Amino acid sequence: MRYLLLLLVVLSSCEVKVSTGHEETKEKKAGNKNKIRNGIDIKSSGGVNIEQAFLTYVEDGSFVSEDNSTGINKPVKLNLIVKGWKEKEGKVYLDAEQKVTTSEGNLILDKKNMLAEFTDISPKDAEYLSFQVVITRLNKIFDYFLVEVKAWNKEFDQTVEASFKIHIE
């Protein structure tokens, strides 16, 4: 069985506020409907915080329903608004990875070094991270697909992680 997935990390601009507070791991369960939606589980450490996490459709930017149902060839984008990345000489040095597994535990995507081509990122661009996933065909029906993403600061001990399930209609 082969499942084709398309993914992309997109960075756009906004202001970053660097946290100098104490450095403990923070974990949030998707409960705040305004800021954390779609049952997205988030974790952060090193003074960086995920302030918003939600799913949209790539085509028109509309919100994905709270049950995370989508269709074949209908790309979904995970949007993360992250504050607190530490800078080095006015730049942020990030990398990211994304994994997708089936409800049966089969790994169908394991993309590493997603930001390898970017040597440094402006603090404004580092605040907005997005990851795309699209299921292009099914050879078998699964209960869900688990999408897991992680981004980290290569110069400091800072990470953000998010995971969610998508269902194919």
pLDDT at 140: 92
Around Cβ 33, how many Cβ atoms within 10 Å? 10
Query: How far, in Å, CA of 61 to CA of 112, rounded?
Result: 26
pLDDT digits (tens, 9 = 90+) for 118-155: 888 999 999 999 999 999 989 899 999 999 999 999 99
pLDDT, the chain, mean: 83
- Residue 17, pLDDT above cutoff 60: no
Q: Is 47 helix (H, G, I), strand (E, B) or coil?
A: coil
In terms of DSSP H, where are the helices of the chain?
Answer: 123-126
Backbone angles phi and psi of 157, in degrees to 5: -85, 75
pLDDT at 23: 33
- Residue 31, pLDDT above cutoff 70: no
pLDDT at 22: 32
Amino acid at 101: T
pLDDT at 34: 67
Give, in order, the Cα–Cα distances in Å from 92 to each of 54, 76, 84: 23, 26, 11
Q: Which residues contact 106 (CB under 8 A, 6 or more apart)?
A: 1
Q: Which domains does the chain have, with CATH numbers?
A: 9-168 (2.60.40.770)
pLDDT digits (tens, 9 = 90+) for 52-93: 999 999 999 999 999 999 999 999 999 999 999 999 999 999
3-state SS string over 117-153? CCCCECHHHHCEEEEEECECCCCCCCCCEEEEEEEEE
Query: How far, in Å, CA of 24 to CA of 93, rounded?
Result: 21
Regarding pTM above 0.75, the answer is yes
Q: Which two tokens stand for residue 20?
A: 């100098």
Average pLDDT over residues 20-37: 50
Q: Which residues contact 90 (CB under 8 A, 6 or more apart)?
A: 122, 123
- Residue 30, pLDDT above cutoff 80: no
Q: Which two tokens stand for residue 88?
A: 């080095």
Q: Which two tokens stand for residue 121?
A: 């990122």
